[in-house]
Amino acid sequence: MTDLPFWAEIAVSVFLVIAGVFGLVGSYGLIRLPDPMTRLHAPTKATTLGVGGVLIASMIFVFATEGRVSLHELLIALFLFLSSPITALFIAKVHLHLREDQSTLPQPSDGLGWAGYTVETPARGVRESLDESDDAESR
Amino acid sequence: MLKRLFPHPLLSLTLVATWLLLVNSVAINSIVFAVILGLAIPAITRPYWPDMPRLRRPLVVVQYVFVVLYDIVKANIDVALIVLFKPRRDLRPAWVCVPLEIRTAEAITVLAGTITLTPGTVSCDLAEDGHAILVHCLHAPDPDAVRDDIKARYERRLKEIFE
């Protein structure tokens, strides 16, 4: 065991406990919330602070034991902030396509629809061109 | 000359800082490599990003970062409390359509990311013409208040920064 000063021991423990609690609550939310869209909220938020707490604890630990400032952790936080909204967006889009349609959503005011429904997606385009080539062959 | 060497000075600086953070040391060889990356990556990716916006108000950027960090902490606590203590029948999930005034693609991207990271909201889709954003709220008894909050707290600042 490394010799950690008392204040650092307390601070590291506090942040680790906070992080653990939020991580646990985020995962519990996955079970408890009623439908896919609300379930999406729990892990995207609660775990941000969960990971953040571990990172702060790690920075304090490195500072107290080795006496240098470790900034690795900021980078982890940055990548988390970049990736977590994108993951959430992907899941939300899948939900929009499978479980919702235009009639259950509020519409944008200027009469155009949501991009996910109206813009031709590449996947759909590819499938259509494949169908056409199938037709051509059968003829 | 300087313009050709550094088409995006801010991107170059970010890359240098990111690389130094990655190697987690400020030795001379890592600085040299960081500068090489900072020169090469913007030059290679320039054709894909022709009109990169410039940040007009650097101080507002700092302010925005702190507002968002504060909101993330608040969001975490709010969502945790809802998950733990709110009975399911009291939960009021809602779809909200937020009309946008910002037009820059980068600004809208930042706004969408911010919405997902902050209190009980996830951004889900964009209107066909990019003039509105679809947001799902975990618990919104008053959807209009959520919309006004997003516009006042984040969009106003992003408009100052990017446009």
Q: What is the pLDDT of residues B76-94, one digit of tens each?
A: 888 888 888 878 777 888 8
When comparing pLDDT for B109 and A121, which is higher?
Answer: B109
What pLDDT is recorded for position A16?
92
What pLDDT is recorded for position B2?
59
pTM (2 decimals)?
0.76
Tell whether B126 lies on the interface with A, counting CB pairs under 8 A.
yes
Radius of gyration of chain B (CA): 20
In this structure, the strands spanning B121-126 and B132-137 are antiparallel
* A54-83 per-position pLDDT tens digit: 888 888 888 888 777 777 788 888 888 788
Contact B84 A115 (CB under 8 A): no
For chain B, give every domain's residue range: 2-48, 58-162
Query: Measuring CA to CA, which residue among B86, B90, B142, B95 is closest to residue B115?
Result: B95
Element (H, E) at B94: strand B94-99
What pLDDT is recorded for position A120?
56
Q: Which two tokens stand for residue B136?
A: 């799902």
> What's phi and psi for B122, nearest 5 deg?
-130, 130
* B26-65 per-position pLDDT tens digit: 778 888 888 888 888 888 877 777 666 667 777 888 888 8
Q: From residue A29, how far is each of A25, A48, B88 by CA, in Å? A: 6, 14, 11
Q: Which two tokens stand for residue A30?
A: 């996955």
Nearest Cα of chain B lies from the Cα of A137 at a distance, in angstroms, of 36
What pLDDT is recorded for position A119?
56
Tell whether B31 lies on the interface with A, counting CB pairs under 8 A.
no
**Helical H segments across B9-57, by residue range:** 9-23, 28-45
Query: Measuring CA to CA, which residue among B39, B120, B118, B49 is closest to residue B82?
Result: B120
Confidence label for A17 from pLDDT (cuts 50, 70 and 90): very high
What pLDDT is recorded for position A72?
78
Query: Whose structure tokens read 């022709």?
Result: B50
- What is the spatial distance between Cα A108 and Cα A95, in angstroms, rounded to a whole number? 19
Confidence label for B156 from pLDDT (cuts 50, 70 and 90): confident
